[in-house]
Structure formats: structure tokens, C-alpha cells
Amino acid sequence: MAKIERFEDIQAWQKARELNKDIYKATMDPSFSKDFSLKDQIRRASISIMANIAEGFGRKSNKEFANFLNMSHGSAAEVQCHLYVALDMNYTTKEDFEILYQKADEVSKMVQGFMNYLTNSLTL
């Protein structure tokens, strides 16, 4: 594993940033943007993914970092849940839903893997 000196070096954070950018683009669509509550909530959940990775890294403790990664993982699931609402309300197409859902899933798996790595290093 490459040395991580800044949270920006973390691949999961980089992917979460890309997802966040894509979520913002999707929620600018006029059909989506009229639902202020859902737009705000999915954006906040998306931001939370990357923010919790950064905050956990800043704690300088593997135990705390793993805890923040757990919160980040939960926020990825929240984004996926909100995507279903957007699909059901016809705020997004099935194709765009699949793309965003897959990106959130990829981030979720990366966060889970990193969390597992940190947790296992605590028990060694």
C-alpha cells in the first residue's frame, strides 16, 4: 500500500469526490432541482462520504479513522437510497440512476475495504 500523507491521497476519497461532482450535476437537472429537500439531502449525504474520510484521517488514530470510515460507508448507502427516490419520482433516468448507483457502490466497497484494513491492523 502506498504511503498516505494527506487525505487527498486516499483513493476512496478521490472516488467520493468524483461521485459528489456527479451528484451535483444530476441534481442541477430542472426536474430534480425542484425537489429542494431531496436535492439537499442527497448532496449532503454525498459530501458526508468524502468529509468523513477526511475527518477520520485527521484524527491520527486507526480506531477513530475506522469509525469515521464506517460513517462514510453509511452515507454511501444513504446516497443510494436517495437515488431510488429520484428514480421513482422520475427525476433521473434508469441509465443515469445505474451509473450513479454503481459509482456509489464502488466508493462504498473502497471505504469498506479500507475500514477492514484499519480494523485488522488494530488486532495485530
Complete DSSP assignment for 14-73:
HHHHHHHHHHHHHHTSHHHHT-HHHHHHHHHHHHHHHHHHHHHHHT--HHHHHHHHHHHH
Quick one: pLDDT at residue 124?
54
Residue 1 lies in a domain: no
**C-beta of residue 94 within 8 angstroms of C-beta of residue 34:** no
One digit per residue, pLDDT tens: the chain, 124 residues?
568 899 999 999 999 999 999 999 999 999 899 999 999 999 999 999 999 999 999 998 899 999 999 999 999 999 999 999 999 999 999 999 999 999 999 999 999 999 999 888 876 5
Other CB atoms within 10 A of residue 10 CB:
21
Residue 97 lies in a domain: yes
Quick one: pLDDT at residue 122?
72
Quick one: pLDDT at residue 59?
92
Residue 105 lies in a domain: yes
Query: Which CATH number goes with the domain that contains 114?
Result: 1.20.1440.60
Residue 63 lies in a domain: yes
**71 is in which domain, residue-wise?**
11-123
Q: Could you tell me the pTM of the whole model?
A: 0.93
Structurally, the chain folds into a number of domains equal to 1
Residue 47 lies in a domain: yes
Task: List Cβ neighbours of 7 (8 Å cut-off, separation of 6 or more).
Answer: 13, 53, 54, 57, 58
